[in-house]
Structure 1
Amino acid sequence: MGLNKLTNRIYFLEHAPEVDRPMLAYLKGDKISLAIDAGYSASHVQDFYRAIEAEQFNKPDFTVITHWHYDHTFGMHAINGISIAYGKTNEFLKDQQEQAKNLNYIEILKKEDIHFRKEYCGQDKLSIVLSDITFSDKMTLDLGGITAQIFHTISPHSEDTTCVYVPEEKVLFLGDSTSEDFFNNGYMDKDKLYSLVQTIQSIDCKYCILSHCEPLSKEDLLAYLLSVEA
């Protein structure tokens, strides 16, 4: 599977529903390249990097994490360069490290999640690491020609949700932020969703990128979210 081109600066490896792999994005600056999310596993990262190298692009200098869930972070040990995450994300990952001291933890996850079982078939170890850099509210990276505005936002999906806005390309990366809380029996907090909708409405973007579907226009995403809110 190769990279898909969204704009001249932004590319992505499609999500893979059969194993619930999220989309991984690549932002190509003149000076710095940035990946969005670290993937489900080392294998996921390797597939992403092969697609990057096929385009004769450099491996990412930085990787920003949208939230702590394992399909977005358990590949972090295998990435190139420096990882960036919201401070709360590292707190969640520390908890995952503690749970992983139980050598049966990987088997527990395989039993709980059929997608995890497929992704980690034949593997009996986990390598869970924390990000190299944390931020408390927001930060901006000048990639050269484009900027990545990285910020925490309220979301019904996870307390540590991080979004990335690229104003020059009018692209907003939202991770899984619009989804229900997988780790709270699929609960959808309508107040948090309303807050997220207001955030999206306030941003001048053309594309909204969610991790487990194709890129959407801002108008199409908002129309869907407002129907969920109703």
Structure 2
Amino acid sequence: MELKKISDRVFYYPHQPETDRPLLAYLKGEKIILAVDAGNSADHVDEFYKSLEVEGLKKPDFTVITHWHWDHTFGMHHIHGLSIAHHKTNEFLNNERAKLLDREYIQFLKRDDERLAKEYVDNKSMIVVLSDIQF
């Protein structure tokens, strides 16, 4: 998958429906670079960052989270820079982090969502963190 260019300052990494990897946006300011959403896993973040490297773009300084769904937040532990999210997003993430201590809950999630199961094969860990900056 390759990074798509909208303008000299706006790029996006396309949605990948087979594993429910959402579109990730990249906004290049004069001083600060912002990513929109953290993706659904460390692998997703790595792919996104590799696509930035191919284009000669720096990693984001901040990653803003649009909402709490797993496919937008489960890559937060692996991002460069700081994350920003609403306090209700952090509340959800804190609850989800507690639930993920239960292996049965993880198995339920994988049975319930085949795209999550495809992303988290071979006992790959689901790591949930709260945002660095909360509003």
TM-score by length of 1: 0.57
- SS of the aligned residue for 1:25 comes to strand
Per the alignment, residue 128 of structure 1 pairs with 128
Alignment partners' CA distance in 1, 2:26 and 2:123: 28
Cα displacement (A) at 1:104? 3.1
Per the alignment, residue 9 of structure 2 pairs with 9
Cα displacement (A) at 1:6? 1.2
Task: Report whether the alignment pairs 1:111 with 2:118.
Answer: no
2:72 aligned partner, one-letter code:
H
**Structure 1 unaligned regions, length at least 5:** 136-230
Alpha-carbon contact 2:120-2:126 (below 8 Å) kept: no
Percent identity of equivalent pairs: 55
Cα displacement (A) at 1:125? 2.1
Structure ranking higher in helix proportion: 2
Per the alignment, residue 49 of structure 1 pairs with 49
Structure ranking higher in strand proportion: 1
Q: CA RMSD in A?
A: 1.0
Per the alignment, residue 151 of structure 1 pairs with none
TM-score by length of 2: 0.96
**Structure 2 unaligned regions, length at least 5:** none
Alpha-carbon contact 1:106-1:125 (below 8 Å) kept: no
Give the alignment of 1:72-151 within 5 angstroms: 72-135=72-135
Count of paired positions? 135
Alpha-carbon contact 2:41-2:74 (below 8 Å) kept: yes
- SS of the aligned residue for 2:91 comes to helix
Cα displacement (A) at 1:123? 2.4
1:56 aligned partner, one-letter code:
G
Mean alpha-carbon deviation: is it higher for 34-43 or for 105-114? 105-114
Alignment partners' CA distance in 2, 1:49 and 1:3: 10
Alignment partners' CA distance in 1, 2:74 and 2:124: 14
Task: Mark the structure with the bigger radius of gyration.
Answer: 1
Per the alignment, residue 22 of structure 1 pairs with 22
**Greater RCO (Cα-Cα under 8 Å, separation 6 or more):** 2
Cα displacement (A) at 1:20? 1.4
